[in-house]
Amino acid sequence: MRVLLTGGAGYIGAHTVVELVAAGHEAVIFDDFSCSSPVAVERVNEITGTTVEYRTIDVTDPVAVQTGIEETGPFDAIIHLAARKAIGESVSMPLEYYANNVGSTLVMLGAMRDNGIGTFLFSGTGTVYTHQEDLPFVETSRTGLDLPNPYSKSKRMCEEVMRDSALTDPDKKLIGLRYFNPIGAHESGLIGEDPQGIPNNLMPIVARVAAGILPQVSVFGRDYDTADGTALRDYIHVVDLARGHLAAIEHAEPGMHFFNLGTGRPSSVLELIAAFEEASGRTITTVDAPRRPGDAQATYCLPDKAREKLGWNTDYDIRRACADYWRWQERNPAGYRD
């Protein structure tokens, strides 16, 4: 299978390319490198022993996308990963988030239609679920547009566009993956998460505190109704997540289908920090902070549908994810930059 990945040089994209190539598929990357680096592609080549083709393309530009497909296609499938993804930033930059996330999805669905590409896989999020009382979330749990931030809303809008697109051609295969909390890195230490500026997610902050780059981890909320008072999240190793993409396109069926990708085993903030301390051998300084507006007490899923329909399962726990992330952090203290 020949697969086009938008945002394929990013954190999830690079790991997905590795899994695709390992399974015998061909991968081509379209990325504008605004939030990623061509070095990631070089590292992917080192891991796989191949040369993955890539183009520097803004996938909100339909002309550039069509030109790129004509130069590098034909393709059997699109994995659409390119998106802005910082929840906090989305609140202050809503227009940019809607333009990028919804706009790029419209362009890539159009490219699918115009170039006879049979399968489209969308990088979605578990934050589209709207009711805590539905926990653990399954694919039929309630979603909606009454979400607390433009990032989540933009992803939910894309799902609706995909539903409508699926109705126009019953032979097309459209897949929406709803991720939970990706952590970890490739076991080689060559590719991993490389956030620019101050990270938004917990794991890169914890890693930078362990490395002495940041002074402390703020624990937002110690008064939740959980065992240790901190919020619960479903942390999934990025390699398991990448293999979920592989399974999804290999088992794609006509129509619109959604799958949760998580472990089904939530961990608290303090549990993740303790696991990272064990992996790194470092003490991680924490400071208590108030809850952040919009933060949920718990977010986790049941991934049974992906297990049953895709033959997919998770292999790694948070201890393995922390060990792999620490290896990446130690070997790449500045990420992909010199």
Active-site amino acid positions: 151
248 vs 261: CA distance, rounded Å: 11
Torsion 86-92-96-97 (CA) sign: positive
194 vs 63: CA distance, rounded Å: 29
The torsion angle over the Cα atoms of residues 150, 155, 84 and 46, rounded to 10 degrees, is 160
Output the DSSP codes for 94-150.
HHHHIIIIIHHHHHHHHHHHHTT--EEEEEEEGGGB--GGGPSB-TTS-B-S--SSH
CA atoms within 13 A on the CB side of 4: 30
Burial class (CB in 10 A: 0-12, 13-18, 19+), 155: buried
Angle value at C-alpha 111, between 251 and 160, nearest 5 degrees: 65
Q: In 3D, which of 237, 313, 235, 297 has the Cα closest to residue 267? A: 235
- Please name the residues in contact with 148: beta carbons below 8 A apart, sequence gap of 6 or more: 293, 294
Please say whether the beta carbons of 312 and 306 come within 8 A.
yes
Rg (CA), the chain: 19
127 vs 260: CA distance, rounded Å: 11
Please say whether the beta carbons of 16 and 5 come within 8 A.
yes
100 vs 214: CA distance, rounded Å: 30
Please say whether the beta carbons of 239 and 19 come within 8 A.
yes
